[in-house]
Structure 1
Amino acid sequence: MQQETETETSMAPYHVRRYQDHDWEPVRELFSKGMLGNIPSEFWTSLKKPRTFLVLLGVPFALFLGSGSLILCLLSLFGLLACQWLTLRRFVKQYVENSLNTDLLDIQKSYVGFWVAECKHQVVGIVGAHPPLRPVGGGNYLELLHLSVKRNYRGKGLARTLVQTLLHFAQDQGCDGVVLETSNSNHPARRLYESLGFQKAHESGYHLNWWLGYFSTWHYKCDFSSQK
């Protein structure tokens, strides 16, 4: 079932429709820029991790005590920060490259549903759905993937409309619900999902290196039966 939505924003009207083949390049570009644009917020969040904080303070301080050189202390701090930034950036770029070469290489084949938000003939938002890679409690669920909105169109309701479109599609298909995974530091996304009935199911993470620890992600689930 193809669901289309037109909504007015304070900037311009936008139109949510099903993905078409001519959207391939703008969809991939929007996804890539959105993921890479999230690196600064992920970086600052990583600084608050206890292990990272301890290393960032402890190593320069130990060097200062051992050498008495403030310059060496500062250089080591900047070096650790640079290492942290490059490690996180490499991790995100690897995820982007993997997605571009797998599910986003043939979008029509990879997804049971993929939608774009269009404004002034430009793709400004995307979201996709396909069956989860791992079973979810024996139920029939869809997984939400790659929700992204261009930066200057955020806060206008596009992301909410895209998620609602996917939820309506899943209900029409007789699914039991929708699951998704998002970064722990992506507070706007988490607030959006929770306001639409998603609940945190569990938390996981990806190892970056011994002192950066986990790239923490939250797994959410929206059960349609609990909303009746």
Structure 2
Amino acid sequence: MAPCQIRRYQDRDWHVVRAIFAEGILQQGVDHFWLQLKRPRNFLLLLGGPGALLLGSGSLLLSLLAILGLLAILWLVSRYPFSYYVDHSLHTDLWDIRASYLNDKGSCFWVAESGGQVVGLVCACPAQEISEGHKHLELFHLSVRRDHRGQGIARTLTQTVLHFAKDKGYNGVVLSTYSLNYPARRLYESLGFWKSHEALNTSKWSIRALSVTHYKLALSPSS
């Protein structure tokens, strides 16, 4: 594992943390596209539609163009929720990171440095939902640069959030991630998070509903 230093966000990190975040989320859009290709219904559509066109018109070129057109539509539909989320985040909380996460003692934004370069990030702020009077911290935007994954950086960043939550007296940490993000889910579960529920993200920007898994981790003075 390469040496990694975790520190608070500084204004000079603005461009690089936004780029790392965008790259990570958009990669999930690519993964979602390949997942959709493997679904039997979509696979049959890609083969059946152009196949029927070939039988009806006898034109191989027209059939190939139909396949390309269907692939392009599937690519746009699969990628759109992720690209919208990136655009929305870059123009809201990640536009003024200091105001969003560093002006409140109950929030924070961290970056991971390796070899003098920022290679990862995570942030957290008080959760909006309060259950039974308990105070929870919500983890957001865990991202690690692609060429630095598999080195334990995401785990270290997540543990930094857990230590912060304990120090600030939070009762637990909550987070949500797309259900198809299996590496993130394995990480959270290995750290003791448990799945509280799973729901479809059907907000107005989502062309196709995506399953989102919500996690919780209870904290205690002895944890």
Same fold per superposition (TM over 0.5): yes
Q: Which 4+ stretches in 1 moved above 4 angstroms? A: none
RMSD: 2.2
Deviations 1:151-201 (A, max 9, x none): 111101100000001011111111111111112221111110110011112
Structure 2: give runs of 5+ residues left out of the alignment.
102-106
Distance 1:206 1:219 in 2: 11
Deviations 1:10-57 (A, max 9, x none): xx4220111122222221121112222333212111223454344334
Distance 2:38 2:128 in 1: 32
Of the candidates 44, 54, 77, which is equivalent to residue 87 of structure 1? 77
2:30–2:79 contact (8 Å) kept in structure 1 = no
Amino acid at match of 2:151: K
| Segment of structure 1 superposing worse, 13-22 or 33-42 | 33-42
Deviations 1:77-117 (A, max 9, x none): 22111111122333322211110111111212212111110
What's 1:139 paired with? 134
| Segment of structure 1 superposing worse, 47-56 or 175-184 | 47-56
Of the candidates 166, 169, 179, which is equivalent to residue 171 of structure 1? 166
Mapping of residues 91-102 of structure 1, within 5 Å = 91-102=81-92
Distance 1:24 1:187 in 2: 28
Structure 1: give runs of 5+ residues left out of the alignment.
1-8
CA distance 1:221–1:87, shift in 2 (3 Å): same
Q: When the two structures are superposed, what TM-score results if normalisation uses the length of structure 1?
A: 0.83
Using the TM superposition, give the Cα deviation of residue 120 of structure 1 relative to its aligned residue in structure 2, in angstroms. Answer: 2.2
Of the candidates 42, 51, 55, which is equivalent to residue 52 of structure 1? 42
Distance 1:215 1:118 in 2: 32
| Corresponding pairs, count | 214
CA distance 1:53–1:141, shift in 2 (3 Å): farther
Of the candidates 85, 107, 121, which is equivalent to residue 97 of structure 2? 107
Deviations 1:54-78 (A, max 9, x none): 4334433443444344443332222
What secondary structure does 2:184 align onto? helix
What's 1:27 paired with? 17
What's 2:209 paired with? 214
Distance 1:191 1:148 in 2: 15
Q: When the two structures are superposed, what TM-score results if normalisation uses the length of structure 2?
A: 0.85
